[in-house]
């Protein structure tokens, strides 16, 4: 029995589409990555004695070309500005992104700011170069620095590093030993994968049936 080439091509296309979609459905490919920094005076170069501390978190979206960030410093004396700088731990570098600037003559006692940075917001050695920012982030060669009236070069700082992945909790068990409803997301992903495979099988079977009818 000779099956027309067009029927085989249709079946092959359906299976190829299934194979292409299956990894994304099963693995849930990530499109963003998270970064963080915990600021202290001990990280300054040279170190600064201060009780101030701060946290910086950011989400990088390479596809959109954005870095969405938040900087929080609960208590600090006379903060004047905050930036992201280039430089490895133990080294000082130039400013590449402004995070905070206090009004002239009115330094702040707390800093709680957020924003979204794009290529046009970058300055210094990374001016207009979002790809360069991404490279520096991944290499760990950027740091957040908060400046004060007493420490113009910086009172607290920290390297920006990739945030640790959240731990995956073990599936909860019901009284009869079966998985709890909290495992429904994983179950849904499995059903999507099974459905995609089924689509490919049905497409192949349909092509063969149609071919048989043409004989």
**Residue 199: what pLDDT?**
46
Summarised one tens digit per residue, pLDDT across range 63-117 is 999 999 999 999 999 999 999 999 999 999 999 999 999 999 999 999 999 999 9
Residues sharing a CB contact under 8 Å with residue 94, sequence separation 6 or more, in sequence order: 85, 86, 87, 124, 125
**Statement: residue 150 has pLDDT above 50:** yes
Q: How confident is the model at residue 170 (pLDDT cuts 50, 70, 90)?
A: low
Structure tokens of 48? 């600064």
Summarised one tens digit per residue, pLDDT across range 121-140 is 999 999 999 999 999 999 99
Q: What CATH number matches the domain at 32-162, 1.20.120, 1.20.5, 3.30.360, 2.60.40?
A: 2.60.40
Q: How confident is the model at residue 149 (pLDDT cuts 50, 70, 90)?
A: very high
Q: How confident is the model at residue 151 (pLDDT cuts 50, 70, 90)?
A: very high
Cα–Cα distances (Å) from 22 to 17, 90, 189, 203, in that order, read 9, 45, 10, 16
**Residue 215: what pLDDT?**
52
Summarised one tens digit per residue, pLDDT across range 37-54 is 999 999 999 999 999 999
Summarised one tens digit per residue, pLDDT across range 3-20 is 555 555 555 555 555 445
Average pLDDT, the chain: 80
């Amino acid at each position: 029995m000779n099956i027309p080439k067009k029927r085989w091509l249709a079946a092959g296309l359906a299976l190829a589409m299934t194979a292409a979609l299956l990894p994304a459905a099963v693995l849930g490919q990530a499109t963003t990555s998270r970064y963080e920094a915990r600021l202290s005076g001990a990280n300054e170069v040279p170190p600064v004695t201060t009780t101030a501390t701060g946290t910086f978190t950011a989400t990088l979206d390479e596809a959109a070309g954005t870095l969405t960030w938040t900087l929080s410093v609960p208590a600090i004396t006379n903060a004047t500005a905050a930036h992201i700088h280039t430089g490895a731990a133990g080294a000082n570098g130039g400013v590449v992104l402004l995070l905070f600037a206090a009004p002239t003559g009115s330094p702040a006692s707390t800093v709680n700011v957020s924003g979204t940075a794009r290529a046009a917001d970058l300055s210094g050695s990374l001016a207009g170069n979002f790809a360069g920012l991404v490279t520096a982030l991944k290499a760990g060669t950027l740091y957040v620095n908060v400046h004060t009236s007493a420490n113009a070069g910086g009172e607290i700082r920290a390297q920006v590093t990739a945030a640790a992945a959240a731990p995956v909790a073990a599936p909860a068990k019901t009284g009869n030993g079966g998985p709890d409803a909290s495992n429904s997301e994983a179950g849904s992903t499995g059903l999507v994968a099974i459905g995609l495979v089924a689509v490919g099988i049905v497409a192949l079977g349909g092509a063969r049936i149609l071919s048989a009818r043409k004989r």
